[in-house]
Copies of this chain bind each other. A is one copy, B any other.
Amino acid sequence: MTKSTNKVSVPGFLANGVSAGIKSGDRKDLGLIFSTIPAKVAALFTKNTFKAAPVLIDAERIKRGIAQAVLTNSGCANAATGKEGMADALTVSAAAAKQLKIPEEHLLICSTGVIGKRLPVRKIEAGLGKLVRGLNEFGIEDAEAAMMTTDKFPKIAIRKGIVGAKDITICGIAKGAGMIEPNMATLLTYVMTDALIDAKALNTVFHQVIDSTFNAISVDGCMSTNDTAIILANGLAGNNPLERAQARLQRFREMLTDVLAELAQAVVRDGEGATKFITVVVEGAKSKSDARRVAYSVANSNLVKTAFFGEDPNWGRILSAIGASGILLEKEKVSLSIGNMTVFAQDAPVNLAPARLKEIFQGGNIEVRISLGGGDKSYSVYTSDLSYDYVKINADYTT
């Protein structure tokens, strides 16, 4: 679905990714996306108390609403590094802005990797020349490669369409969270578009779309130190300007949603050690927050996740997670379906066909549908299973 496509490009954007020796071997670890002209910018950042230095810097810079480049290093998160970490980030930022010949405040920087280690500033500075010289219109895949950590495949999504009487392009790239909870790893996603859009509208739409896509695979207030989502809009499409409350803004929102939903699902499919893609749908809730609590109580249960990995049709664990969500439930009204098979309703198990249920658990895409029968609010969460490989990958990440 988001396998890397040849010739991915967005008008007015250049990109590149190189190896600066931050990660072992000659893996790419320094990436750059660059708009040939200053672009409108909007961004969301982690709510973690211990925000990484680059997050603190970017959060200030995006307030101007203008940015032109995003520099990313993998292999080191530059988080929990104190004043030195902040100084390191600013040193790298200054050097990159100089190379790019843009105002430093128009450069955004992101880091991902191990927390608590100093940023290898010299290596990054040494890599900047090659990185900037190599900027090219088809460099997006290299930029994506440079921000991957445990990702098994690159995540790039692109949509083209007519908005405001002109062809516009929206392209997003993402670096996966380890699992679907961003506190499991860092999530970085950047969106490039040539659409001409009002700054306020861009900010509003980006927040709305992130909330319905990436935040549906995350737990609020439970993010990593570095999570960052950025959108740059350089306006080169020359379309009729997109402003709030317009039909054409709605069309832009739909295209952006397609891009980010594709990336968000790719992040789950590439979850560390994931062998299943599980959709948890909660409906009939009194409030969205109730639906959300139930969805996460199920999606985050290690017992549920291991049952899916083991293809063990132990649906009772899902029911227990529903009942443990802490919200007020009328249990006689709750029903649970897995695949298209109802396993529990009216406070009793439904006549089960174990063989059929086993087949459902053996599938790669599994939908868990929970109806609370108490209202009309719903919420969906994408999650993955919990496998040996998840433990293996995370048992020796720094070493």
A interface residues (Cβ-Cβ under 8 A, vs B): 47-51, 77, 79-85, 114-117, 178-179, 183-185, 220-225, 297, 301-303, 306-307, 309-310, 312-317, 319-326, 329, 331, 334, 343-344, 346-349, 386-388, 390-392, 394-399
Question: Are B398 and A313 in touch, CB under 8 angstroms?
Answer: yes
Question: Are A301 and B396 in touch, CB under 8 angstroms?
Answer: no
**What 8 pairs between A and B have smallest CB-CB spacing?**
A115-B316, A82-B348, A310-B395, A221-B326, A49-B323, A306-B394, A50-B323, A116-B316
> What chain B residues lie within 8 Å of A395 (beta carbons)?
306-307, 309-310, 312
Query: What are 27 A-B interface contacts by the 8 Å CB criterion?
Result: A48-B320, A48-B323, A49-B323, A49-B324, A50-B319, A82-B347, A83-B348, A84-B348, A115-B314, A115-B320, A116-B343, A183-B324, A184-B302, A184-B303, A220-B326, A222-B326, A224-B320, A302-B386, A307-B394, A307-B397, A310-B396, A312-B398, A314-B397, A386-B391, A388-B388, A390-B391, A391-B391
Give the number of times this chain occurs in the complex, counting copies. Answer: 2
New A-B contacts (4) at CB < 8 Å, excluding given A115-B314, A225-B319:
A115-B316, A116-B349, A306-B390, A310-B396
* Nearest chain B CB to A334 CB, angstrom units: 8
* Nearest chain B CB to A78 CB, angstrom units: 11
> What chain B residues lie within 8 Å of A347 (beta carbons)?
82
CA distance A36 to B391 in the complex (A): 50
**Residue among A178, A321, A323, A329 with most chain B CB within 10 A:** A323
Question: Are B114 and A316 in touch, CB under 8 angstroms?
Answer: yes
Give the dominant DSSP class at A's interface.
Answer: loop
> What chain B residues lie within 8 Å of A185 (beta carbons)?
303
CA distance A323 to B324 in the complex (A): 25
Question: Are A302 and B80 in touch, CB under 8 angstroms?
Answer: no
CA distance A111 to B388 in the complex (A): 30
Question: Are A319 and B184 in touch, CB under 8 angstroms?
Answer: no
Question: Are B391 and A49 in touch, CB under 8 angstroms?
Answer: no
> What chain B residues lie within 8 Å of A49 (beta carbons)?
322-324, 329, 331, 334
